């Protein structure tokens, strides 16, 4: 069942002397023998899809009338089915569906039994039950993101709850606990480095390590951004809360750097612990020096200049370009912070427009000229 | 010499964990839901709805015989129900011994307000009825022995005054 176009091509190739008549005939025979009934499969697929959608809509239409226990049994059976399929098949999409079914099961339980608990409890339980499976079997970005995003969301919700219930007399404890919760995903980086060396899925662990690094850089950037305010000169609840938070984040990052340093001794891999150690410096610095626009901007730009340098060493093109873009953006923001009255006069507007254009032009030039080449994914860069 | 391969064993464990865990959690939630006795309490509508978590009706309790403001309810350890289930005769702030205690939980909406999940099709009419002053909404809830309150359903009936006016 060779397509008309392919037949024409074969004929053309034969006429042009690229293939001889015998080859032409052999190709046609082989194609005929290996033809796949796409049309038939499409029709069957369509029918199955229609039946599936029909079942879903019938169930959905009567969802409210189905007793809760039966709905939960149905939900549980779907989870069981996914797990049974995973005994034989390894597929990210299946893992993802299973993960989402598991997450929604908690919400479903809450609806049927009218229970309520803080959001971080079901999310945490889900992480406890499902992350071993996701980490043991996942391969691509889909699973990496499902795991990491849920982890970060859980910790954010938990940190929010801690701050809501904070007792002003226990500012130290609150600050430290909140910051430790938020910074703990940094510890995924050494875990990933350890697993990467032993796993048959190094790509999965490298992606996870990149997210851990990205989250750590986000926290350090947040600290740099917060240094617009001077926490050092504020009265007590803020004073101890912010100092405890800065020290806790810093300590976590140092621990991540130290473990990474022990795990990987080859010269190329020294870069990663250095990056984490560099990030660890930012929160205490932000606390000590904070209080002016210039300091906040310099801290932020210094942080990302360091990261750009590291990306250059590691040959990580996207990270380098991101760093350059962020520095340029911060520079523009700083110019407005320092000279906000520029926007009130015509000449000022022209000047600030020129400034933005200049910064963007310089950033583009740097990003193009100095960025490392895209490949190099195989090497052991920062995650 | 038929040693189970440790890798295969681990693989099976990792697959079994979500199933066993979810099953256990379901069993615990189900068992807890069967305990305790059912009570009735009048409730009033309360805005805003919790949009984030689907179709919940948020209501405010009208505890009979309790004249305590929201501030007192927010700090109280719990309430003590007096009466024969399901009829509450009066309610007092929990102090010392009590046969039917309701305890405040950190997680729940507390002693002043609560919420009930209702299917989408019933949420809007029920909310309208709750807002209507000529009707009286009664919440049937289950009080577990540990003092945890589990809302079951809301029924709406004409208020007592209206009923006598229209026999």
Model confidence pLDDT, tens digit, residues B65-74: 777 666 677 7
C-beta contacts of A360-367 below 8 A and 24+ residues apart: A360/A328, A362/A328, A363/A324, A363/A325, A363/A327, A363/A328, A366/A324, A367/A320, A367/A321, A367/A324, A367/A325
The per-residue pLDDT for A266 is: 66
Please enumerate residues of B whose Cβ is less than 8 A from a Cβ of A. 10-11, 14-15, 17-19, 21-23, 25-26, 29-30, 32-33, 53-54, 106-109, 115-117, 119-122, 150-152
The per-residue pLDDT for A220 is: 94
Name the pTM for this structure. 0.76
Which of B9, B10, B18 is most worth mutating to test chain A (most A CB atoms within 10 A of its CB)?
A: B18
Task: Quickly state the pLDDT bin for B2 (edges 50, 70, 90).
Answer: low
Task: Quickly state the pLDDT bin for B167 (edges 50, 70, 90).
Answer: very low
| Contact between A133 and B17 using a beta-carbon 8 Å cutoff | yes
| Contact between B23 and A76 using a beta-carbon 8 Å cutoff | yes
Domain-embedded: residue A44 = no
Asked if residue B53 has pLDDT above 60, the reply is: no
Is A64 near chain B, with CB under 8 Å? yes
Task: Quickly state the pLDDT bin for B90 (edges 50, 70, 90).
Answer: confident
Select from A73, A281, B6 the least CA-distant residue to A81. A73
Task: Quickly state the pLDDT bin for B24 (edges 50, 70, 90).
Answer: very high
Is A44 near chain B, with CB under 8 Å? no
Select from A337, A231, A345 the least CA-distant residue to A289. A231
Residues A130 and A261 grouped into a single domain: no
Asked if residue B108 has pLDDT above 60, the reply is: no
Residues A187 and A76 grouped into a single domain: no
Domain-embedded: residue A219 = yes
Residues A120 and A224 grouped into a single domain: no
State the nearest Cα–Cα gap between B102 and chain A, in angstroms.
Answer: 15
The per-residue pLDDT for B1 is: 47
Phi-psi region of A291 (alpha: psi -120 to 50; beta: other; left: phi over 0): left
Q: How many domains does chain A have?
A: 2
Is A200 near chain B, with CB under 8 Å? no
Average pLDDT over residues B160-166: 42
The last residue of one of the domains, among A110, A134, A165, is A165
Domain-embedded: residue A272 = yes
The per-residue pLDDT for A294 is: 86
Which of B9, B10, B22 is most worth mutating to test chain A (most A CB atoms within 10 A of its CB)?
A: B22
Residues A252 and A217 grouped into a single domain: yes
Facing residue for B152 by CB, picked from A69, A114, A136: A114
Residues A187 and A157 grouped into a single domain: no
Phi-psi region of B96 (alpha: psi -120 to 50; beta: other; left: phi over 0): left
Whether residue A324 contacts residue A359, with contact meaning beta carbons closer than 8 Å, is answered with no
Residues A249 and A194 grouped into a single domain: yes
**Which tens digit of pLDDT belongs to each residue from B118-147?**
776 777 777 777 777 777 888 888 888 888
Residue A312: domain span: 183-383
Residues A161 and A206 grouped into a single domain: no
Select from A373, A223, A192 the least CA-distant residue to A304. A223
Domain-embedded: residue A13 = no
The per-residue pLDDT for A381 is: 42
The per-residue pLDDT for A380 is: 40
CA distance B96 to A122: 33
Asked if residue B48 has pLDDT above 60, the reply is: no
Greater confidence, A152 or B117? Answer: A152
Domain-embedded: residue A24 = no
Average pLDDT over residues B53-58: 67
> A135: part of which helix (H) or strand (E)?
helix A120-137
The last residue of one of the domains, among A138, A165, A192, is A165
Select from A91, A86, A99, A93 the least CA-distant residue to A149. A99
Residues A362 and A217 grouped into a single domain: yes
Domain-embedded: residue A47 = no
State the nearest Cα–Cα gap between A64 and chain B, in angstroms.
Answer: 6
Residues A92 and A198 grouped into a single domain: no
Each domain of chain B, given as residue ranges in start order, spans: 1-34, 37-165
Q: What is the pLDDT along chain A (383 residues), one digit of tens a residue?
A: 556 667 888 888 888 888 888 888 888 888 887 777 777 888 888 888 888 888 777 777 777 777 888 889 989 999 999 999 998 888 888 999 999 999 999 988 888 887 777 889 999 999 999 999 999 999 989 999 999 999 999 999 999 988 887 777 788 888 899 999 999 999 999 999 899 888 889 999 999 999 999 999 999 999 998 888 777 777 777 888 888 899 999 999 999 999 988 887 666 578 888 899 999 999 999 998 888 888 888 999 999 999 998 988 888 888 888 888 898 888 888 877 777 666 677 777 787 788 878 888 888 887 777 777 665 444 444 43
Whether residue A246 contacts residue A171, with contact meaning beta carbons closer than 8 Å, is answered with no
Residues A87 and A205 grouped into a single domain: no
> Which A residues, 163 through 182, put their C-beta within 8 Å of a C-beta on chain B?
165
Residues A153 and A200 grouped into a single domain: no
| Contact between A132 and B17 using a beta-carbon 8 Å cutoff | yes
């Amino acid at each position: 069942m060779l397509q008309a176009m392919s037949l024409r091509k074969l004929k053309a190739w034969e006429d042009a002397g690229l293939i001889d008549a015998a080859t032409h005939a052999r190709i046609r025979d082989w194609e005929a023998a290996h033809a796949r009934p796409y049309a038939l499969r499409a029709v069957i697929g369509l029918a199955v899809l229609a039946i599936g959608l029909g079942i879903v809509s019938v169930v959905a239409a009567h969802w409210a009338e189905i007793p809760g226990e039966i709905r939960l049994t149905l939900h549980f059976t779907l989870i069981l089915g996914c797990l049974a399929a995973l005994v034989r098949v390894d597929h990210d999409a299946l893992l993802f569906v299973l993960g989402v079914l598991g997450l929604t099961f908690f919400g479903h339980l809450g609806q049927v039994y009218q229970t309520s608990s803080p959001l971080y409890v079901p999310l945490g339980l889900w992480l406890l039950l499902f992350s071993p499976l996701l980490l043991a079997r996942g391969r691509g970005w889909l699973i990496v993101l499902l795991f990491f995003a849920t982890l970060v969301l859980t910790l954010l919700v938990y940190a929010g709850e801690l701050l809501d219930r904070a007792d002003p007399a226990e500012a130290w404890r609150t600050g430290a606990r909140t910051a430790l919760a938020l910074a703990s995903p940094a510890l995924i980086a050494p875990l990933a480095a350890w697993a990467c060396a032993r796993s048959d899925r190094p790509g999965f662990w490298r992606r996870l390590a990149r997210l851990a690094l990205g989250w750590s850089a986000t926290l350090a950037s947040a600290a740099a951004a917060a240094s617009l305010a001077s926490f050092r000169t504020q009265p007590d609840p803020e004073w101890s809360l912010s100092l405890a938070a800065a020290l806790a984040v810093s300590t976590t990052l140092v621990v991540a750097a130290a473990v990474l340093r022990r795990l990987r001794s080859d010269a190329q891999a020294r870069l990663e612990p250095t990056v984490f150690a560099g990030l660890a410096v930012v929160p205490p610095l932000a606390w000590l020096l904070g209080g002016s626009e210039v300091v906040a901007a310099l801290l932020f730009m210094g942080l990302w200049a360091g990261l750009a340098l590291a990306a250059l060493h590691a040959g990580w093109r996207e990270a380098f370009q991101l760093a350059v873009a962020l520095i340029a953006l911060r520079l523009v923001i700083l110019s407005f912070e320092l000279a906000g009255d520029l926007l009130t006069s015509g000449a000022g507007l022209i000047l600030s427009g020129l400034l933005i254009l200049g910064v963007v032009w310089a950033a583009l030039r740097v990003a193009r000229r100095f960025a490392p080449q895209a490949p190099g994914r195989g090497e052991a860069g920062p995650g | 010499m038929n040693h189970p391969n440790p890798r295969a064993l681990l693989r099976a464990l990792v697959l079994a964990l979500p199933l066993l865990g979810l099953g256990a959690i379901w069993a615990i939630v189900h068992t807890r839901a069967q305990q305790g006795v059912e009570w009735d309490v009048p409730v009033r509508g309360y805005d805003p709805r919790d949009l984030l978590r689907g179709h919940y009706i948020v209501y405010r309790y009208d505890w009979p015989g309790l004249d305590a403001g929201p501030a007192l309810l927010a700090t109280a350890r719990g309430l003590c129900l007096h009466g024969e289930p399901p009829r509450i005769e009066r309610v007092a702030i929990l102090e010392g011994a009590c046969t039917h205690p309701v305890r405040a939980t950190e997680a729940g909406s507390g002693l002043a307000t609560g919420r009930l999940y209702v299917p989408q099709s019933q949420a809007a009419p029920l909310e309208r009825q709750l807002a209507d002053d000529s009707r009286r909404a009664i919440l049937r809830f289950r009080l577990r022995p540990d003092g945890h309150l589990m809302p079951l359903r809301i029924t709406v009936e004409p208020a007592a005054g209206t009923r006598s006016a229209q026999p």
